[in-house]
Amino acid sequence: MSDRAARRITILIPYLWLVLFFLVPFGIVAKMSLSQVATAVPPYVPNFGWGDGWSGWLDKARELSSDNYAVVLGDSLYIDAFLTSLRIAATGTLILLIIGYPMAHAMARASAGIRPLLVMAVILPFWTSFLIRIYAWIGILKPEGLLNEVLLAVGLISERLQIANTEAAVLVGVVYSYLPFMVLPLYAALERLDRTLLEAAGDLGCPPWRAFWRITVPLTLPGIAAGCFLCFIPIVGEVVIPDLLGGSDTLMIGKTLWTEFFSNRDWPVASSVAILLLVVLVGPIMVYQHLQARQIESRR
C-alpha cells in the first residue's frame, strides 16, 4: 500500500466513525421527532421500509411534521425543565471551578514524585460504581443520615435538616461526581505553566495575587474552558443524580426525556426534546471552537 493510500485511509476512519456513531443515530432521532405517536411497535408512524420504494417513501415523508416541536416549545413543563437543567448545570459548574482550581493548582505545585499519587487520588472514585456512589449520598444526606448526625453532634444545628430530595442535594451529587472532570484539565494546563514567568513578575515587584490574575489565569483559560464544557454538558442531561437525590420536585430535562421515552412511550416528543437539547448544547461548543480558532490564528 502506498503512503498516499495509507494517509487517505487514516483520514477516512474518523469520518466513518462520525457517520456511523453520530450522524446515523442523529438522523434516526431527528426522523422520530417528526413522526406521530402510535400504538404500535415501534410506537410511532410513519415507518419507512425497504419495500416501500421511492413513491412510498415520498408519501410517508409528507406525513412528517414539526408538531412535536410546537408541543415542546409551547408546554411550560418542558421549558421549566430546560431552565432548571441550565441553572443547575451553570451553578454546579461554577462550584466545581471554585473547588477544582485550587485543587489542581496545589497538585501542579506539588513535588514531581507526589503528583502521580495525587492524580490517582482524583480518579480513585471512578474505580467504584457510579450508582453505588450516588446511593451512598442518599444515606449521608437523608434526615437520619450521617451529615445531620455530625451537625447535631457539633451543635451547628438544633433540628435535622431536609437536604435529601432537594435541589441542594442534586448540586452535592453533581459536584462530587464531576469534580475529576474539572480538576484534570485544569491540572494539565497548570502543570505546563512556565514558572519562570511568575518568577520574573516577582522580581519586577508584582505581588503574587496580581501575577496569578495577570499570568496564571490567562494562560490556563483553555483548561478552564475544557473543564467547564466537560462538566456543564453532561450535567444538563443528567438523569441518575436528579432522580435519586432530587426527588420528584427537581425536574431536569434528562429526567423528563427518560419519562417520555420509557413511561409515556411518547418517542416522537422525547426525540424532539433530545434534538432541542442538542441544539442548546452545540451552540456554546461552536462559540468555544470559534474562539479557539481565533486564538490560534492570533499566535501565528
d(CA 90, CA 157): 29
d(CA 224, CA 101): 8
- pLDDT of residue 89 exceeding 90, the answer is yes
- Separation in Å, CA 285 to CA 94, 196, 292: 17, 33, 10
CB 141 within 8 A of CB 172: yes
- Separation in Å, CA 192 to CA 186, 250, 286: 10, 40, 26
Residue 21 belongs to some domain of the structure:
no
CB 267 within 8 A of CB 37: yes
d(CA 296, CA 21): 29
- Separation in Å, CA 43 to CA 2, 37, 118: 50, 6, 50
Q: Where are any strands of DSSP class E within 1-91?
A: 36-37, 44-45
State residue 177's pLDDT score. 94
Residue 167 belongs to some domain of the structure:
yes
Domain count for the chain, please give it: 1
DSSP string, 166-182: SHHHHHHHHHHHHHHHH
CATH of the domain at 95: 1.10.3720.10
pLDDT in tens, 120-134: 999 998 888 888 999
Does residue 36 sit in helix, strand or coil? Answer: strand
Residue 35 belongs to some domain of the structure:
no
Mean pLDDT of 145-163: 89
pLDDT in tens, 131-151: 899 999 999 999 888 999 999
- pLDDT of residue 300 exceeding 70, the answer is no
On the question of a cis peptide bond just before residue 208, with omega within 30 degrees of 0, the verdict is no
Residue 8 belongs to some domain of the structure:
no
Residue 11 belongs to some domain of the structure:
no
Residue 214 belongs to some domain of the structure:
yes
Q: Where are any strands of DSSP class E within 5-158?
A: 36-37, 44-45
State residue 57's pLDDT score. 84
Lowest mean pLDDT among 83-97, 119-133, 138-152, 275-289: 275-289
- pLDDT of residue 1 exceeding 70, the answer is no
CB 62 within 8 A of CB 263: no
More confident site: 140 or 297? 140
The per-residue pLDDT of the chain, averaged, comes to 89
State residue 241's pLDDT score. 93
What is the extent of the structural domain holding 121?
71-251
